Amino acid sequence: MDYDFGMVGLGVMGRNLLLNIADHGFSVVGLDLDPAKASALEIEAEAGKNVKGTTSIEEFVGALQKPRAVMLLVPAGKAVDAAIANLLPYLDEGDIVIDGGNSYFPDTDRRVVELEKHKIHFFGMGVSGGEKGARFGPSMMPGGDRQAYERLRPVFEAIAAKVDGEPCVAYLGNGSAGNYVKMVHNGIEYGIMQLLAETYDLLKRGLGHSDEDAQRMFEEWNGSEVQSFLVEITGQILKKKDDVTGQPLVSLISDRARQKGTGKWTSQNAMDLQVPLPTVDIAVTMRDMSAYKEERVQAAQALEIPSTQGANIDDWYAVENRLRNAFYFAMLVTYAQGLVQLRVASATYNYDLELEEVAKIWRGGCIIRAACLEDIRRAFAANPGLANLLLDPAIGGELLKRHEDMRTIVKTAIDKGIPVPGFMTSLAYFDAYRSATLPTNLIQAQRDYFGAHTYERIDQPGVFHTQWD
């Protein structure tokens, strides 16, 4: 038979996504060079579904109906180029290739041009939600070849997560827009994860509360305005006990964090675009800091400071309330930073993004799904040209209601010697953005002093240079 859809790469994500497609009535075929993965696809498929696994490229391509739809879910970088090169001799004009991995967006732009020469449609589509999302409903971020996406839209809308009956997938924009939006999604993810880790650290090391206290707090938070997937799983993680020792499992996990690079890409590109992204930047930095374990152990002894009581928050209700308000403040600021980056990137790279649409498909399925994304969607629906979420009256009002608790939490962490750079930079971003004047006039004078870089004045037009000495 001719199969509707093909998948190259049958790891957990690829296999689950293909089984999801099969569950919605489409016939599917998967390709993996590992025979065990190819056979696992057929073993896991429900009875009666048209699902085939193979290790043969020729058999895989020959089984697909024309024009063929082939999705790649392989590691970003050389593996994607290798997969395309291996498929190309078997593909025909009009076939569609979709890259569903976390590819760096310039690579997507290059691949679009390369495959256009062969008259093959290509587009990048970010997929978020992890293995469960892939199996039961992810958020998907396609961009690029609109004609190709429209042909496959019924497939993707069928398998996507749904919020209020609306699928969490939509065509986002031109070129590498889909991969770019997924990259920024992952940068925001880095930021929120760092904020949750800081909340846990301050509560436990700084204020002396137990893992059980933290677990109950995060579980309660998930029924509040900070409800989100990352808050939910944090509560679940803290509940898990080690089978051998009976201790909280999280306390036995190494504090050396790993990363695959999407957070770094987000920060690097934000710097290229001159978009301030401090919460994401510091989240990447703190993962880097975690790698210096041996040095940190030495420094803990060499740089030990006396314990200080500082601004203790003794009442549990006050602790929980202030922490929740501070976290919500920082979370909103993190989303705001990422969405500014998307707005600037859209203009720079001609993506033609609609930020309401981005917020809409992030509401379900993806790792950064959260209740506040509906408020964010409303903000861009009311004002599509909104420069920054902080300028939306409702979002700005939420920040103003919570900034005092944010300052109290930051001061408490300083007094306790607990690093909370994510909270600090989120607050600094808020304060800098609402400052009508900044001290960069002094920096301009310094640059002119040592490098004759010139400066502008506020009282007259023109460009000036001064002999300062």
pLDDT of residue 260: 72
* Type of residue at 181: V
Helix axes 177-201, 421-433, angle to 10 degrees: 120
Please tell me whether 121 is known to bind a ligand.
no
Q: Where are the domains of the chain?
A: 5-171, 182-434
Q: Residue 82: enclosing H or E segment and its boundaries?
A: helix 78-87
**322 pLDDT band (50/70/90 cuts)?**
very high
Q: How far apart are CA 364 and CA 376, in angstroms?
A: 14
Q: What is the CATH number of domain 5-171?
A: 3.40.50.720
Q: How far apart are CA 331 and CA 407, in angstroms?
A: 15
Q: Does residue 310 surpass a pLDDT of 60?
A: no
Q: How far apart are CA 127 and CA 237, in angstroms?
A: 24
Q: Does residue 345 surpass a pLDDT of 60?
A: yes
Report the percent of the chain where pLDDT is more than 70: 98
Q: How far apart are CA 329 and CA 336, in angstroms?
A: 11
Q: Phi then psi for 420, rounded to 5 degrees?
A: -130, 60
Q: Does residue 20 surpass a pLDDT of 70?
A: yes
* Type of residue at 429: Y
Instruction: Provide the annotated active-site residues.
Output: 182, 189
| Sequence-separated contacts (24+) of 294-300 with Cβ below 8 Å | none
| Sequence-separated contacts (24+) of 307-312 with Cβ below 8 Å | 308/415, 308/416, 308/417, 309/415, 310/411, 310/412, 310/414, 310/415, 310/416, 311/408, 311/411, 311/412, 311/415, 312/207, 312/412
| Torsion sign, CA atoms 215, 216, 219, 221 | negative
**261 pLDDT band (50/70/90 cuts)?**
confident
Q: How far apart are CA 401 and CA 417, in angstroms?
A: 26
In 3D, which of 86, 65, 80 has the Cα closest to residue 5? 65
Please tell me whether 186 is known to bind a ligand.
yes
Please tell me whether 447 is known to bind a ligand.
yes
Give 125-183 as a 3 state SS string: EEEECHHHHHHHCCEEEEEECHHHHHHHHHHHHHHCCEECCEECECCCCCCCHHHHHHH
pLDDT of residue 305: 86
Cβ atoms of 353 and 346 closer than 8 Å: yes
Q: Does residue 224 surpass a pLDDT of 60?
A: yes
Q: Does residue 120 surpass a pLDDT of 60?
A: yes
pLDDT of residue 54: 92
Tens-place pLDDT, residues 57-84:
999 999 999 999 999 999 888 999 999 9
Q: Could you tell me if residue 126 is left (phi over 0), alpha (psi between -120 and 50 degrees) or otherwise beta? A: beta
Domain 5-171 and domain 182-434 have a common topology: no
Cβ atoms of 184 and 338 closer than 8 Å: yes
391: helix, coil or strand? helix
Please tell me whether 351 is known to bind a ligand.
no
- 334-345 burial, b for 16+ CB within 10 Å, e for fewer? bbbbbbbbbbbb
> How far from the centroid of its chain's Cα atoms is residue 388's Cα?
18
Please tell me whether 102 is known to bind a ligand.
yes
Please tell me whether 94 is known to bind a ligand.
no
Sheet order of strands, 28-31 included: 51-54, 28-31, 5-8, 69-72, 96-99, 121-128, 139-144
464: helix, coil or strand? strand
pTM of the model: 0.94
Mean pLDDT of 164-177: 95
Q: Give DSSP secondary structure letters for 206-262.
A: IT---HHHHHHHHHHHTTSTT-BHHHHHHHHHHHPBPTTT-SBGGGGS-S-----SH
90: helix, coil or strand? helix
In 3D, which of 180, 138, 127 has the Cα closest to residue 160? 138
pLDDT of residue 309: 57
Architecture of the 182-434 domain: Orthogonal Bundle (1.10)
Tens-place pLDDT, residues 373-430:
999 999 999 999 999 999 999 999 999 999 999 999 999 999 999 999 999 999 999 9
> How far from the centroid of its chain's Cα atoms is residue 341's Cα?
13
Please tell me whether 453 is known to bind a ligand.
yes
Please tell me whether 104 is known to bind a ligand.
no
Tokens of 411: 């001061």
